[in-house]
Amino acid sequence: MKLLVVDDSQVLRKVVRAVADALEMETEEARDGIEALEKLGEIYGETDLVLLDWNMPEMSGYDVLVEIKKNEKYKDIPVMMVTTQGQRSNIVAAIRAGAANYLTKPFTVTELETKILECLQEDGDYL
Amino acid sequence: MDYSYLSLETARMDDKEFAVFRDYLCKSSGILVPPDKAYLFEMRLVKVMADAGCENFGELYRYIVSGKDPQITQKIINAMVINETLWFRDSLPWRVLEEDLLPRYIAELRSSARNKVRFWFSAVSTGQEAYSTVMCVDNYLKRKLVRDIQLSDFEFVATDISSRVLDVAKRGRYDAISIRRGLDDAYREKYFTQDKSAWELDPRIRDAVRFSRFNLQHSFLPLGSFDVIFCRYALIYFGDELKREISGKLRRALNRDGVLFVGNSAMSDYFRDGYEHVHYKNLTYFKASN
């Protein structure tokens, strides 16, 4: 099981890696949307979930989500968006664009872990 | 699934819908969402609403009452109830266990005055409270060189209303952040094995706990009776009437001399009838009075 975490914050990537380790998942990291799409081009066949921050420089998480969902090769990989609390518009936009789930900041480790499990279970790969 | 019908306007919950969902959550789980937390429904239920193919919260409610999806209530509870917990949270219950309860239980087991000691963790979330207790008992038996009483003489039942947190609890595998929250190094070294940055609980401790989903609004009778009950951090989410009802049911679920940890002294008023109040340092816990 592999998770690609896309976030410009090193701290957040570290938190996600720690939780993924607990879930016995491998983690790949990308610091921005462009790197995420490049990386996905290499590892899409082995990626089970993308965790994507909304607010990133250069290319927003939303734009990355749209790109992922447009691409035949990786449009079926579940994407969980991470957005700021109170940004209801982001949540609606993310679901419309095909996000499998979303997480609002600030979140607890338990929320992160349960949401990842939820995404993977819905996708049918992980029980 | 095509979610293009969703719009920002329709994904808004008005006051009337909030009242309907607040009542629905309260009836199905006992949990009362205060009016200033109305946004929680909007933020957490948009996905449930979208998955149900509903355009707005009114439609979602009609979908719920239609009975089309038997899992819908659990999905909503899972989305709304995610409690963070830690190891040996507010450490005093485990001091009481070591200093008072375990010596007594061991003596009673030895004299055959009892054949089992039963614990219940009634809102266990991701498992830390139950596993802390199993480690505490196991460590006590080893430290005191108790060889004639085994961990299997103790039974640990752990429940929660959210199936999602129980999925995490049953794994007995914790991330590098959760493992540090309240767990001292000696326990970690003794009972966990590191795998990458994660920590895996000794299967002997993990398998000692029986997890199941349980709604505190239901009858406690199927669970049997207990010597120690932990019901901490759940009651604060309930209304007055339910708190009183649960207090009575907990009392009936306690064995003779059974002990109840509620974790919040502000709850003391709900635990008058049938309970003796015991003070240990700044902890107040309750004992079944005969």
- Residue B161, sorted as left (phi over 0), alpha (psi -120 to 50) or beta, turns out to be alpha
Of A88, A101, A118, the CB nearest to B42: A88
Q: Is B139 helix (H, G, I), strand (E, B) or coil?
A: helix
Q: Using the 8-state DSSP alphabet, how is residue B34 labeled?
A: P
- pLDDT at position B38 is 83
CA angle A111–A108–B130, rounded 5-degree value = 75
Contact A113 B177 (CB under 8 A): no
Q: Taking 70 as the threshold, does the pLDDT of residue A85 lie above it? A: no
pLDDT digits (tens, 9 = 90+) for B95-137: 999 999 999 999 999 999 999 999 999 999 999 999 999 999 9
Q: Taking 90 as the threshold, does the pLDDT of residue B44 lie above it? A: no
Cis peptide before A57 (omega within 30 of 0): no
Contact A95 B50 (CB under 8 A): yes
Asked if the C-beta of A96 comes within 8 angstroms of chain B's C-beta atoms, the answer is yes
- pLDDT at position B236 is 86
Closest CA to A112 of A4, A8, A18, A10: A18
Contact B183, B87 (CB under 8 A): yes
Bridging pattern class, strands B173-174 and B154-160? unpaired
Instruction: Write out the two tokens for B73.
Output: 């209530």
Cβ-based neighbour number of residue A86 at 10 Å:
13
Those residues whose C-beta lies under 8 Å from the C-beta of residue B57, and which sit 6 or more positions away, are B11, B12, B13, B17, B21, B41, B45, B49
Mean pLDDT of A12-30: 94
pLDDT digits (tens, 9 = 90+) for A109-120: 999 999 998 888
**CB-count burial class (<10 Å; 0-12, 13-18, 19+) for B190:** middle
Residue A53 pLDDT class (50, 70, 90 cuts): very high
Of A93, A96, A118, the CB nearest to B164: A118
Q: Taking 60 as the threshold, does the pLDDT of residue B87 lie above it? A: yes
**Residue with more model confidence, B116 or B6:** B116
Q: Taking 90 as the threshold, does the pLDDT of residue A122 lie above it? A: no
Distance from CA of A44 to the nearest CA of B (A): 21
Q: Taking 90 as the threshold, does the pLDDT of residue B36 lie above it? A: no
B82 contacts in chain A (CB < 8 Å):
108, 110-111, 114
Instruction: Write out the two tokens for B159.
Output: 């429940």
Contact B101, B259 (CB under 8 A): yes
CA angle A115–A39–A85, rounded 5-degree value = 35
Contact A91 B43 (CB under 8 A): yes
- Tell me which residue has tokens 């108790």: B146
Closest alpha carbon within chain A to B178:
A109
Q: How far, in Å, are A36, A37, A60, A105 from residue A57 at the CA level?
A: 13, 14, 7, 18
Q: Taking 60 as the threshold, does the pLDDT of residue B70 lie above it? A: yes
Q: Residue type for A39, please? A: K
Highest-scoring range by mean pLDDT, A87-91, B175-179, B208-212 = B208-212
pLDDT digits (tens, 9 = 90+) for B194-246: 998 999 999 999 999 999 999 999 999 999 999 999 999 889 889 999 999 99
How many beta-carbon pairs under 8 angstroms link A with B? 91
Asked if the C-beta of A104 comes within 8 angstroms of chain B's C-beta atoms, the answer is yes
Mean pLDDT of A16-38: 95
- Residue B256, sorted as left (phi over 0), alpha (psi -120 to 50) or beta, turns out to be beta
Of A21, A91, A93, the CB nearest to B197: A21
Measured between alpha carbons, how far is A61 from A33 in angstroms, rounded to an integer? 7
Measured between alpha carbons, how far is B93 from B88 in angstroms, rounded to an integer? 8
Q: What is the ipTM of this complex?
A: 0.80
Contact A102, B47 (CB under 8 A): yes
B18 contacts in chain A (CB < 8 Å):
none
Closest CA to B234 of B30, B27, B23: B30
CA angle B139–B140–B143, rounded 5-degree value = 85
Q: Taking 70 as the threshold, does the pLDDT of residue A18 lie above it? A: yes
- pLDDT at position A123 is 63
Measured between alpha carbons, how far is A32 from A36 in angstroms, rounded to an integer? 6
Contact A114 B165 (CB under 8 A): yes
Measured between alpha carbons, how far is B77 from B83 in angstroms, rounded to an integer? 12
B80 contacts in chain A (CB < 8 Å):
none
pTM, two decimal places: 0.90
Residue A30 backbone phi and psi in degrees, to 5? -140, 140
Of A95, A102, A118, the CB nearest to B3: A95
Q: Taking 60 as the threshold, does the pLDDT of residue A126 lie above it? A: no
Distance from CA of A83 to the nearest CA of B (A): 11
Residue A127 pLDDT class (50, 70, 90 cuts): very low
Write down the H helix ranges in chain B.
15-29, 38-51, 57-66, 72-80, 92-96, 102-110, 128-143, 163-171, 185-191, 203-206, 240-253
Q: Taking 80 as the threshold, does the pLDDT of residue B5 lie above it? A: no
